[in-house]
A and B are shown apart, each in its own frame.
Chain A
Amino acid sequence: MGVNSDAAAVYGHKLSTVVPGSVSGETVVHELADMDLVMKLHYVRTVYYFQQSETVDGLTIVDLKKPMFRWLTSYYPVTGRIRRTEAGRPLVKCNDCGVRIVEANCCRTLEEWLQVPHSARWRPLVPDKVLGPDLRFSPMVYVQFTKFQCGGMAIGYSWSHVLGDPVAGTNCINLWGQLLAGNPPPKSLLPHSARTPTARPARQPPVSATPLSVKQVEPAGDLWLIADACKMATDSITITESRLKHLQSEKLNSVPAFEMISALFWHCLASVRRGGREPRVVTICRHKPRAKKCAELSNEQMISTVSTSHASPADLDLAELALLVSKQKVDETTLVEESIDGDGGKPDFVVYGANLTFVDMEGVDLSGLDIKGEKPVQVDSVIDGVGDEGAVLVFPQGADAGGGSKGPAAVLILPEDQILKLREVLKREFDMA
């Protein structure tokens, strides 16, 4: 079945909007920090799949929407819209405009749908909108409810990275799930004190060092979308615990799982791209640890690069790469933040995919969303707007509960042919399906 027919299987889209239950206030703004603006061309798309059950069957759209009003009263900045200061710097005007809700149906059963290849599976179930071309009227968050033929349901959640990192994004939707279950909202939550405008010194981009981890792109203007991005496909590979232990054996015990997996994929992709644009520099992205129910909306990434002077990284063996990744990261977070001009919020950057990027998704609580106690049977989570070099998201706990094989899962966002070749390399060299 082609991609087109998969997309066509989802039909009957109905759009509506949900707003905060209480007025947020007049002229309330949510300032966007420098790191927020660095990430603005990226979007986090997540799809949660729920099996048919009495609970899921019994939920109407009204039931699903009802807790949203209380949810959005707590998270009111996500319902705002982008505006610009006089100097041109984007900020969020908290005008309660709302979150867009999409209702759809799918003519297949959930079981049939989960057989569809990863790349084609999640796209029809979550709105793939970006901010712009009319920034003033572009929602930053979308939620799509798709009902399957069998009664199962998929919840698609689109989150604009400019609001916060994936940790913040998942914490946000998880609160909705808790309110749906009837739990009272935690007292220590927001009202999120909207950041007030602070005087920002005008900065010149540092002449001395430009960060390697990000790539400056053509000004995106009012359409926050990576121009001319080659079509990225996605895939998910689970690395079982036993396989991981095997890789970590022999003098690599000190290398943690994330670094190990990053090195693994770096090695494989280097051999896939041998002779072409081989990845000599990779970007490592981690999120600062936060309390599980923290409601802070911010981008708390630590961005670092790892480079090798070797001409062809494909020639380096896995152990060497692993040690490089774990020991020789160069932290560029501050450098990246300083690249943003204070007043104008320019220039525009791509972070994921500027180089081959490995993102540590530790702290992203995908299992935290449940429907009145029912957990999802599967979760697909990807990042949209990734640059040409591609990205790998490493989830510590593969939510792909594929029949007992547990372990970290790597979600690949790469051009389609590279994914196929990568799989071949994994099979050949590491005996991984």
Chain B
Amino acid sequence: MPAVPLPEFPRWAKFGYRFIVNNFVTLFLVGSMTAVGWELLQLGPDEIMALWRSLQEQPVSSLSAVFLVAFVAALYFMSRPRPVYLVDYACFKPPSTCRVPFATFMEHTRLINSDEKSVQFQTRILERSGLGEETCLPPANHYIPPNPTMEASRAEAQLVIFSAIDDLMKKTGLGPKDIDILVVNCSLFSPTPSLSAMIINKYKLRSNVRSFNLSGMGCSAGLISIDLARDLLQVHPRANALVVSTEIITPNFYAGNQRSMLLPNCLFRMGAAAILLSNRRREAGRAKYRLAHVVRTHKGADDRAYRCIYEEEDAEGHSGISLSKDLMAIAGEALKSNITTMGPLVLPVSEQLLFALNLVGRKLINPEWKPYIPDFEQAFDHFCIHAGGRAVIDQLQKSLQLSAEHVEASRMTLHRFGNTSSSSLWYELNYIESKGRMRRGDWVWQIGFGSGFKCNSAVWKCLRTIKAPVDGPWTECIDRYPVDIPEIVNL
């Protein structure tokens, strides 16, 4: 059924409409104050004095009015949540000693995998993956076959996490004793003692630090950690929270031949990010961002969504993560749910009105009207879409009708670093900053997807213009980006 498109309006009309609807309250107040002021000016000074005396003669009602206003104002300010500031963050820069070019990956795959078909399948994935020649795997994965011992997994964890935290401490001057809350998320590696204990041990954090270790929550766990830290910062005043997001690759190499489980081998790469959040007033001066909203959507109640990313053993007993064919469709649905909640929080009233009118119209007047997709570029200046794979980014670009520039950070992060799971959003943010595009007042939308199936969003407001060059994983290579990523790479 061909959808009926909305008529095209001239630019001035669109601009006028948006201006009036978005600033409606302001315009109303300004208008009322002007009218009242005009009225007062019409009155002579005697009449103004008379008005004043009449107020004085009714002290109770005047004072009540004043107290009421004061009371409402106080209630309003007290019920506002504590602002949560992102002071700074640091991403792990993988060393060149961990580099895995395409050719090496393919050669190892052929040597490890006896099944010709699965080798060809992985070749096809890699050719179309959108990854570059500089992505990194941990040292254990450079062996034929990979050598995933517990010791190697811990070594990788220590390398990536401590590196990121050291960088963060250097940038912010944060000391170990200043950390009140510690949240670590790593989905697939969960040793005892936990990774959060590992951090506490290494940096000698205080004995009353509130530590949390989230495991098994997938690639969107980074924003879950941010959400948890935010909630804790509402309860604990004058506190610093250190959030560490990572995924440890070493123990998760899939050694079998089932196609649905081969994708993670091809796409997942080393990465980690450490983020410092704070609710201390004095950090407002130097903080980079303020956390405005976090919206979490969980589709786990639906069986299809629950099983679409599923860790299990294949017929030969090899453990791996199976991705179902419905993945993109489920991701689309989860995104829609998330946007439905997110929209009213962030979209300007003009867009919400249009969306509402379109919805009503489609329900009551003509179901063939094209559904109105709110223009999120009105609400946000920058987008960080989880670099889960080329297909994910393509799908989101289409669904949200984003320009190529808006998804550039995601594509380039996928190319340079691969899919680093929960930390990819931070590499993308760092890309935008390194390009010198982050200005004070800009709004950033981070979208993460992960097993569950979950779609989580975070909205940040930039508090100060960030000048390039920025110290971080992009420092040495930012001048080479953006690169043109071919549809199919010739291996």
Contact = CB atoms under 8 A, between A and B. Distances in A.
Given A23-B134, A96-B133, A137-B107, A16 B101 contact: no
Contacts of B491: 95
- Contact residues of B: prevailing secondary structure: helix
A210 interface: no
Contacts of A62: 139
Interface string B456-491: 000000000000000000000000000000000011
Contacts of A21: 96-97, 99
Contacts of A134: 110
Interface in A54-68: 62, 65-66
Contacts of B106: 137
Interface in B120-170: 133-134, 139, 142-144, 147
A62 B140 CA distance: 11
Contacts of B103: 81, 95-98
Q: Which among B102, B108, B110 has the highest number of chain A CB atoms within 10 Å?
A: B108
Nearest to A94: B103
A183 interface: no
Interface in A39-82: 62, 65-66, 69, 81
Contact of A65 (B97, B104, B111): B97
Contacts of A18: 142
A97 B111 CA distance: 13
A81 B108 CA distance: 14
B339 interface: no
Nearest to B96: A21
A245 interface: no
Interface of B: 96-97, 99-104, 106-108, 110-111, 133-134, 139, 142-144, 147, 490-491
Top 4 closest pairs, chain A to chain B, by CB: A21-B96, A97-B103, A95-B103, A96-B101
Contacts of B144: 15-17
A269 B119 CA distance: 51
A19 B100 contact: yes
B143 A95 contact: no
Given A15-B111, A23-B133, A69-B96, 11 more contacts: A17-B107, A27-B490, A66-B97, A69-B97, A81-B103, A95-B103, A96-B101, A97-B101, A98-B103, A98-B104, A137-B106
A356 B204 CA distance: 71
A16 B102 contact: no
A97 B133 CA distance: 11
Interface in A87-139: 95-98, 134, 137
A74 B108 CA distance: 23
A81 B103 CA distance: 9
A96 B104 contact: yes
B140 to A, nearest CB: 9
Nearest to A95: B103
B489 to A, nearest CB: 9
Most chain A C-beta atoms within 10 Å of own C-beta, residue among B101, B108, B110, B490: B101
Nearest to B486: A26
A22 interface: yes
B483 to A, nearest CB: 10
A14 interface: yes
Contacts of B99: 19, 21, 69
B100, B111, B133, B490: residue with the most chain A Cβ atoms closer than 10 Å: B133
Nearest to A101: B142
A96 B99 CA distance: 10
Given A66-B97, A96-B133, A137 B104 contact: no
A133 to B, nearest CB: 12
B97 A16 contact: no
5 contacts: A15-B144, A16-B143, A97-B103, A134-B110, A137-B111
A17 B139 contact: no
